[in-house]
Amino acid sequence: MDKIDAAEQSVVDFRNKFAMHQYIEIYRSSSSGMKNAISEDAFVKMADEASKDLGAFQSATPKDRIVKYQIIGGPRIVLTYESKYSNSKFIINESFAFDTENEEIMLSGYHYGKGKLISDEINISK
């Protein structure tokens, strides 16, 4: 499995753990850079707030796969998606960043924001 495939599988794993509110497990398996940027307690609090805001994951459309090579450390992989969640009338723009530590892909960042409004389908049949 190459690094992009591993990162994509990590997104699936993140979504599964997020749905089960396993925020501590997500945090503990993240990169050292992420752990230096935010405490476990703060991460858990923010993840819980995001879960309440977003609701249940429904679907996602991949948008970008970017590999940034760094002078120190392995490549940084950034995957972006347009996603649908149960509590939002908007498409959610999600970004997952992964760093390589000891040849292992590890989450180094997660961001989301509201995108375009999801249009309600209108049934005009009579």
pLDDT digits (tens, 9 = 90+) for 93-105: 999 999 988 889 9
Exposure string for 33-56, b = 16+ CB within 10 A, e = fewer: bbeeeeeeeebbeebeeebeebee
* Domain 3-117 in this protein, CATH class: alpha beta
In sequence order, the β-bridge partners of residue 98 are 77, 107
Q: Which amino acid is at 7?
A: A
pLDDT digits (tens, 9 = 90+) for 27-79: 999 999 999 999 999 999 999 999 999 999 999 999 999 888 877 777 899 99
The segment with the largest mean pLDDT, out of 69-83, 87-101, 112-126, is 87-101
